[in-house]
């Protein structure tokens, strides 16, 4: 299963990078969403799927899955949510001010047209 | 200790100059400045009797003892001679500047602060025994020279000259620092004295030759040797006292000093002899040849300085040969170092006076253009006399001191061909030939300088102001220097015993241990030797060429104006580093974030995949993998379809909903892989995210149907595939090579007994690793505040007020 999941994560990353390299701001943010999904799944996969019970103590069970990756992912989910929310509002404000969401038009330097 | 403090006396005096300038307006600030160099002259002169007996004096003040860096003031023949030159000519230049610079029109405090700073720096350079502090003072001379050349900072040419000299000399200084560091690594000390003691051992190191070349680069840039001399003519934009002081008598001799000081270490090397003597000779010829072309008085003097420095440098190079000759005391090689020091003193005297005369002519007539000047002899008789003495000495005519040192120079150059190793017997004949030709040109430009200015037709209509003799105060310094020029001719052996012989001992400690052993006697008349015939030849040919100067001076215009070293400098500084490099960085710094992201992603993918295969890190095993279930495969199918839809959706609505679907599938994965907390959080967060996306959806425009260039779309696909492959490969090999068991066992065993909880994930979050959670909360709080601020704060619309 881990082998297949490695390919799935790779696929998610590929799609995310493809979106991040696009011109529309919204697509870029969607890309970051996919990227964080890929990263979370990758952490889970790397922690291995061994064990048959969720990491909550219950009588007679000893075969718990590894709880550490789960704790890490939980933290990561919250942080990526915070960042995504910020990005979305940033994109919204940028569109309001600049009247464009085309990344090729948003250039910092005036030297290069 | 007091000796160390003396190096800093001018610097301390500089602190008071703004006060004198601002508060005591009625007295020229220069008078207060004069005290410092006068005191130093007297102070250093008091050491002359001790040093001329061959003793040395050393004083030390630890600066950074843990690194072995200290201010060491080491007085021997060489450094005492330089110290006296610096403070003596410094005093004369300050005196001259009092009459040269107007107290009401000029920013005198700036001028004198820079000048005093320079004086301290020069004293430090010549007295420092510690290489690091030597470098410190060395760069301080560059900085103060920069400030002095740019003194009239509202003139374009001053700023250009200041920049040019600083780029070149500081560049050389950096090289020199590299050489010092190499030397200190080889010898494990910063002290030059201690390095000289272990010189033969140093020469066996592999890096010896690099240290040699780096230090020589420092010396050549500072002393305006070929091809680094180009900054010196442009430095003539400085006020004339500065040109007289820095660019003829002292700073440009710092490189000479360095070569002389390091001769005992490097003289063993053939490269050193060839480079110092060869470059010196080339510079001598080049400078004298192009001096005749100049039309600006100070331009002539600048090229003449370049040429004379080359002369001294080549003498030092030939002096190093003495190291390789058995019984060198009996050969004529011993003359070289002696002649170098002698000519150094002579050059400081006559060149200082000539610069002051050029300044006087400029000051009294308003121009330095030699084509407009002429016939000033009867109007400025004193200046003419001084100029005549200086020029004749420069040309090497009796009865002036230049004659003596030029004779010794020719003697030394003639001796080179008798040296029969390192190919000197083959090429050695070039030395006297080039030296002779250069001397002819020296003769021509010396006459050109003095006779084109003071004799010939008087052209009052071309002069901006009506010329008259300079005030007496301005003439004091050049007259003192000119009288020295004559005096030295008549008492050369007194000068030799007091100053030159101790200095020669410092340069050639492998020959002598005591100044008394230097048995060289200068005589103005040494019979009909070859060098006398050479001098007669110089005078005859030079005089004839001078008479027909106007006929052949035009030939300089025939040389292609594009092919000069100045153009090379301009090309490097303005074309290459400015334009070409900007165009080059413009090629990849496009300002487009997509381009940068593409570089980053492909770079990461390239490096990681490359490393995996170079280090043979890629490995796949199915051992330890958990079994595959049909339900999971179905879920994967949904995820893949959702992702493809997200990427290729034509409308943003579809895209957002497909992203939501992916998120929910991920939370289903979490359910399937026994992660209930994750599944819960993921569900909630995904819902909120989709809501946020939909909110933004209203405000953001529709996906525009832009036709992308297919090239970029392929590149984009390629980069994303590379990243995907990279992630897969890393994940596969990381999964297949696990070396350490998870530490989860500890958490599983102690979660109830130590922490009193049952949900291991939650206990980890708030108990075992509670700090993570604290700052994750902080992240959320910051994001919330930032969003609020971003929406509320509209500086651009409210005129920039909060």
Question: What CA–CA distance (Å, rounded) separates B119 from B127?
Answer: 12
Residue A24 dihedral angles phi and psi, to the nearest 5°:
-85, 135
Mean pLDDT of B341-353: 90
Residue B759 dihedral angles phi and psi, to the nearest 5°:
-85, 105
Q: Which of A8-17, B427-436, B462-471, B540-549 has the lowest mean pLDDT?
A: B462-471
Which structure tokens are listed for B654? 């579809």
pLDDT digits 0-9 by tens, B441-484: 999 999 888 888 888 777 777 777 777 777 888 888 999 999 99
**B642 to chain A, minimum CA–CA distance in Å?**
10
HSE on the CB side for B592, CA within 13 Å?
A: 20
Residue B369 dihedral angles phi and psi, to the nearest 5°:
-80, 120
Query: Using CB atoms, which residue from B643, B744, B782 is nearest to A34?
Result: B643
Question: What CA–CA distance (Å, rounded) separates A3 from B255?
Answer: 70
pLDDT digits 0-9 by tens, B231-282: 998 898 889 999 889 887 788 899 999 999 999 899 888 889 888 988 999 9
Taking the CA atoms of B747, B752, B756 and B758 in sequence, report the sign of the dihedral they define. Answer: positive
Res B551 pLDDT > 70: yes
Which has more confidence, B516 or B113?
A: B113
| A71/B652 CB distance under 8 A | no
Task: Give every CB contact of residue B673 below 8 A, 6+ residues apart in sequence.
Answer: A44, A49, A65
pLDDT value of residue B705: 54
Q: Is the ipTM of this complex over 0.85?
A: yes
Res B798 pLDDT > 60: no
Query: For residue B464, what are the β-bridge partners?
Result: none
B553-558 contacts, C-beta under 8 A, 24 or more apart = B553/B292, B553/B293, B556/B290, B556/B292, B556/B293
Model confidence band, residue A113 (pLDDT cutoffs 50, 70, 90): very low
| B787/A106 CB distance under 8 A | no
Model confidence band, residue B706 (pLDDT cutoffs 50, 70, 90): low
pLDDT value of residue B171: 93
Which structure tokens are listed for B707? 């036709």
Question: What CA–CA distance (Å, rounded) separates B499 from B503?
Answer: 6
Secondary structure E strands in B439-535:
none
Query: Using CB atoms, which residue from A11, A23, A37 is nearest to B706?
Result: A23
Mean pLDDT of B422-432: 72
Res B625 pLDDT > 90: no
pLDDT value of residue B704: 58
pLDDT digits 0-9 by tens, B575-586: 888 888 888 888
Model confidence band, residue B323 (pLDDT cutoffs 50, 70, 90): confident
| Sequence ranges of the domains in chain A | 2-49+65-99
pLDDT value of residue B498: 85
- Answer left, alpha or beta for residue B161, where phi above 0 means left and psi between -120 and 50 means alpha: alpha
Q: Which residues in B lie closer than 8 A to residue A1 (C-beta atoms)?
A: 625-629, 632
Query: Using CB atoms, which residue from A19, A92, A107 is nearest to B699?
Result: A92
pLDDT value of residue B802: 47
Q: Is B795 exposed, middle or buried (0-12, 13-18, 19+ CB in 10 A)?
A: exposed
Question: What CA–CA distance (Å, rounded) separates B240 from B244?
Answer: 6
pLDDT value of residue B423: 64
Q: Which residues in A lie closer than 8 A to residue B713 (C-beta atoms)?
A: none
Q: Answer whether B173's CB lies under 8 Å from B142's CB.
A: yes
pLDDT value of residue B553: 74
Q: Which of A93-97, B212-216, B602-606 has the lowest mean pLDDT?
A: A93-97
Instruction: Kindly write down the DSSP assignment for every residue of B312-381, as one continuous string.
Output: HHHHHHHHHHGGGSTTGGGSTTHHHHHHHHHHHHHHHHHHHHHHHHHHHHHHHHS--BTTT----TTTSH
Q: Which residues in B lie closer than 8 A to residue A70 (C-beta atoms)?
A: 675, 677-678, 761
Q: Which residues in A lie closer than 8 A to residue B609 (C-beta atoms)?
A: none
**A102 to chain B, minimum CA–CA distance in Å?**
9
Q: Which of B333, B315, B256, B257 is nearest to B512 (CA)?
A: B333
The 3-class SS string of B549-609 reads HHHHCCHHHHCCCCCCHHHHHHHHHHHHHHHHHHHHHHHHCCCCHHHHHHHHHHHHHHHHH
Please name the residue of chain A whose CA is at the shortest distance from the CA of residue B703: A24
Model confidence band, residue B799 (pLDDT cutoffs 50, 70, 90): low
Options 3.30.428, 1.20.1070, 3.40.50, 1.10.287; CATH for A2-49+65-99 is: 1.10.287
Query: For residue A92, what are the β-bridge partners?
Result: none
Mean pLDDT of A56-63: 82
Question: What CA–CA distance (Å, rounded) separates B35 from B20?
Answer: 13
Q: How many Å separate Cα B143 from the centre of its chain?
A: 10
Q: Which residues in B lie closer than 8 A to residue A53 (C-beta atoms)?
A: 674
Instruction: Kindly write down the DSSP assignment for every residue of B659-682, as one continuous string.
Output: HHHHHHHHHHHHHHTT-HHHHHHH
Q: Which residues in A lie closer than 8 A to residue B625 (C-beta atoms)?
A: 1-3
pTM for the model: 0.83
Query: Using CB atoms, which residue from A46, A95, A108 is nearest to B734?
Result: A46
Mutate to test the interface with B, among A15, A31, A42 (most CBs of B within 10 A): A15
Res A112 pLDDT > 50: no
Residue with tokens 């130590």: B754
Model confidence band, residue B518 (pLDDT cutoffs 50, 70, 90): confident
Query: Percent of chain B at pLDDT above 70?
Result: 94
Query: Using CB atoms, which residue from A15, A38, A85 is nearest to B646?
Result: A15
For residue B783, count other CB atoms closer than 10 A to its CB. 20
pLDDT digits 0-9 by tens, B223-241: 999 889 889 988 988 899 9
**A92 to chain B, minimum CA–CA distance in Å?**
6
Maximum C-alpha span of chain B:
115
Which has more confidence, B680 or B628?
A: B680
For residue B206, count other CB atoms closer than 10 A to its CB. 7
Please name the residue of chain B whose CA is at the shortest distance from the CA of residue A73: B678
Mutate to test the interface with B, among A4, A30, A84 (most CBs of B within 10 A): A30
pLDDT digits 0-9 by tens, B133-143: 999 999 999 99
Q: What is the mean pLDDT of chain B?
A: 86
Which structure tokens are listed for B427? 């090429």
User: B399: cis peptide before it, omega within 30°?
Assistant: yes
Residue with tokens 């030059």: B192
pLDDT digits 0-9 by tens, B552-580: 777 777 766 666 778 888 888 888 888 88
pLDDT digits 0-9 by tens, B62-106: 999 998 899 999 998 899 999 999 999 999 999 999 988 888 888
Q: Which run of H or E residues covers position B58?
A: strand B57-64
Mutate to test the interface with B, among A6, A64, A100, A112 (most CBs of B within 10 A): A6
DSSP 8-state assignment for residue B797: T
| B731/A6 CB distance under 8 A | yes
Res B151 pLDDT > 60: yes
User: End-to-end alpha-carbon separation of chain B, Å?
Assistant: 60
pLDDT digits 0-9 by tens, A28-49: 889 999 999 999 999 998 887 8
Please name the residue of chain B whose CA is at the shortest distance from the CA of residue A87: B787
**Residues B613, B616, B618: CA angle, nearest 5 degrees:** 75
């Amino acid at each position: 299963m881990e082998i297949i999941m490695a390919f799935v994560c790779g696929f998610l990353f590929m799609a995310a990078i493809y979106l991040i390299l696009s011109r529309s701001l919204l697509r870029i943010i969607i890309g970051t969403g996919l990227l964080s999904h890929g990263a979370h799944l990758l952490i889970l996969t790397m922690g291995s799927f061994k064990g048959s019970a969720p990491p909550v103590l219950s009588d007679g069970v000893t075969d718990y899955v590894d709880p550490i990756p789960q704790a890490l992912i939980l933290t990561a989910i919250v942080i990526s949510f915070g960042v995504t929310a910020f990005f979305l509002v940033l994109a919204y404000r940028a569109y309001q001010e600049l009247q464009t969401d085309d990344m090729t038009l948003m250039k910092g330097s005036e030297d290069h047209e | 200790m007091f000796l160390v403090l003396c190096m800093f006396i001018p610097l301390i005096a500089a602190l008071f100059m703004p006060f004198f300038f601002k508060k005591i307006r009625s007295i020229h600030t220069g008078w207060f400045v004069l005290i410092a160099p006068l005191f130093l002259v007297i102070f250093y002169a008091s050491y002359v009797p001790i040093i001329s007996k061959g003793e040395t004096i050393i004083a030390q003040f630890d600066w950074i003892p843990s690194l072995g860096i200290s201010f060491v003031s080491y007085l021997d023949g060489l450094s005492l001679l330089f110290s006296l030159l610096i403070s003596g000519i410094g005093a004369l230049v300050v005196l001259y500047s009092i009459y040269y610079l107007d107290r009401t029109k000029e920013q005198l405090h700036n001028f004198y602060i820079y000048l005093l700073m320079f004086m301290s720096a020069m004293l430090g350079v010549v007295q420092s025994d510690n290489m690091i502090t030597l470098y410190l003072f060395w760069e301080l001379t560059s900085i103060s020279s920069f400030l002095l050349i740019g003194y009239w900072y509202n003139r374009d040419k001053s700023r250009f000259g200041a920049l040019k000299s600083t780029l070149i000399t500081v560049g050389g200084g950096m090289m020199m620092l590299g050489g010092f560091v190499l030397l200190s690594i080889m010898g494990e000390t910063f002290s030059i004295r201690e390095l000289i003691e272990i010189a033969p051992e140093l020469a066996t190191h592999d890096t010896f030759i690099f240290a040699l070349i780096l230090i020589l680069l420092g010396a050549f840039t500072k002393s305006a040797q070929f091809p680094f001399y180009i900054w010196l003519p442009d430095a003539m934009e400085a006020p004339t006292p500065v040109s007289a002081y820095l660019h003829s008598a002292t700073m440009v001799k710092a490189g000479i000093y360095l070569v002389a000081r390091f001769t005992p270490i490097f003289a063993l090397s053939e490269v050193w002899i060839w480079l110092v003597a060869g470059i010196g000779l080339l510079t001598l010829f080049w400078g004298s040849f192009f001096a005749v072309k100049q039309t600006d008085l100070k331009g002539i003097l600048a090229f003449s300085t370049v040429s004379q420095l080359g002369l001294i440098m080549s003498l030092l190079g030939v002096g190093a040969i003495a190291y390789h000759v058995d019984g060198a005391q009996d050969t004529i090689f011993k003359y070289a170092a002696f002649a170098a020091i002698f000519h150094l003193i002579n050059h400081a005297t006559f060149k200082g006076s000539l610069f002051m005369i050029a300044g006087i002519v400029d000051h009294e007539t308003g121009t330095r253009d030699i084509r407009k000047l002429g016939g000033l002899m009867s109007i400025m008789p004193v200046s003419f006399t001084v100029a005549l003495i200086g020029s004749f000495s420069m040309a090497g005519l009796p009865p002036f001191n230049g004659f003596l040192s030029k004779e010794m120079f020719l003697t030394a150059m003639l001796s080179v061909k008798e040296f029969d190793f390192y190919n000197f017997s083959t090429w050695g004949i070039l030395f006297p030939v080039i030296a002779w030709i250069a001397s002819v040109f020296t003769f021509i430009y010396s006459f050109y300088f003095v006779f084109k200015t003071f004799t010939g037709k008087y052209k009052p209509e071309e002069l901006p102001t009506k010329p008259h003799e300079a005030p007496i105060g301005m003439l004091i310094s050049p007259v003192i220097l000119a009288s020295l020029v004559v005096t030295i001719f008549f008492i050369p052996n007194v000068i030799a015993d007091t100053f030159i012989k101790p200095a020669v001992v410092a340069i050639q400690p492998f020959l002598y241990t005591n100044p008394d052993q230097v048995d060289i006697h200068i005589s103005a008349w040494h019979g009909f030797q070859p060098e006398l015939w050479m001098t007669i030849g110089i005078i005859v040919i030079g005089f004839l060429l001078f008479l027909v100067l106007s006929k052949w001076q035009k030939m300089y215009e025939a040389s292609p104006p594009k092919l000069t070293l100045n153009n090379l400098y301009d090309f490097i500084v303005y074309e290459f580093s400015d334009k070409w490099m900007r165009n080059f960085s413009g090629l990849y710094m496009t300002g487009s974030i997509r381009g940068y992201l593409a570089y980053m992603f492909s770079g990461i993918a390239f490096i990681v995949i490359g490393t995996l295969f170079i280090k043979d890190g890629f490995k796949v095993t199915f051992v330890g993998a958990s079994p595959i279930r049909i339900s999971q495969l179905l879920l994967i199918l949904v995820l893949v379809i959702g992702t493809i839809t997200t990427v290729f959706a034509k409308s943003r609505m579809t895209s957002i909903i497909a992203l939501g679907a992916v998120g929910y599938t991920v939370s289903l994965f979490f359910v399937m892989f026994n992660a209930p907390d994750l599944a819960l959080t993921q569900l909630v967060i995904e819902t909120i995210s989709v809501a946020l996306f939909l909110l933004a959806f209203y405000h953001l425009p529709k996906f525009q149907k832009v036709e992308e260039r297919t090239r970029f779309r392929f590149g984009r696909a390629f980069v994303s595939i590379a990243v995907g492959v990279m992630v897969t490969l890393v994940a596969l090999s990381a999964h297949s090579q696990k070396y350490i068991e998870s530490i989860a066992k500890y958490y599983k065993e102690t979660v109830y007994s130590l922490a009193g909880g049952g949900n291991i994930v939650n206990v980890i979050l708030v108990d075992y690793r509670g700090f993570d959670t604290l700052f994750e909360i902080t992240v959320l709080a910051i994001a919330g505040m930032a969003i609020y601020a971003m929406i509320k704060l509209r500086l651009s619309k409210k005129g920039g007020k909060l």
